[in-house]
């Protein structure tokens, strides 16, 4: 089973992604992987609406592992948003 959450990316993150020649959601996913080891798939590969940013992730782990994963993801997103705001 998959989830396809939308993420809000600060303008500076979008600009940094463009400087690197990456789609903004790809930049977010790569940063997430590098910092946390969490692997998700950028939504730009799934025909997301222009100007929106998503990623796809599997949500099959046992509930306790899923809870820990979501906590790590939430912490990362807050840090990422602060860094690029």
Query: What range defines the domain where residue 14 resides?
Result: 2-83
Evaluate whether 53 touches 28 at the Cβ level (below 8 Å): yes
Number of C-beta neighbours around residue 69 at 10 A: 16
The DSSP symbol for 61 reads S
Number of folded domains that form the chain = 1
What tens digit of pLDDT does each residue of 26-43 get? Answer: 999 999 999 999 999 999
What is the predicted pLDDT for the residue at 77? 98
pTM assigned to the model: 0.93
> Helix %, strand %, coil % for the chain, to 5?
55, 10, 35
Q: Output the domain CATH number for residue 50.
A: 3.90.1150.10
Q: What percent of the chain has pLDDT over 70?
A: 100
Q: What is the pLDDT of residues 36-80, one digit of tens each?
A: 999 999 998 888 888 899 999 998 889 999 999 999 999 999 999
Compute, in degrees rounded to 10, the torsion defined by CA atoms 59, 65, 67, 70. Answer: -60
How far is Cα 72 from Cα 63, in angstroms, rounded to an integer? 14
- Give the model's pLDDT for residue 48: 85
């Amino acid at each position: 089973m998959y989830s396809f959450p939308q993420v809000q990316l600060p303008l500076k993150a979008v600009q940094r992604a463009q400087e690197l020649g990456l789609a903004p959601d790809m930049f977010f996913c790569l940063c997430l992987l590098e910092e946390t080891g969490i692997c998700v798939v950028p939504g730009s590969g799934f025909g997301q609406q222009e100007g929106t940013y998503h990623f796809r992730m599997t949500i099959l782990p046992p509930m306790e592992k899923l809870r820990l994963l979501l906590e790590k993801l939430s912490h990362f997103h807050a840090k990422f948003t602060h860094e690029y705001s």
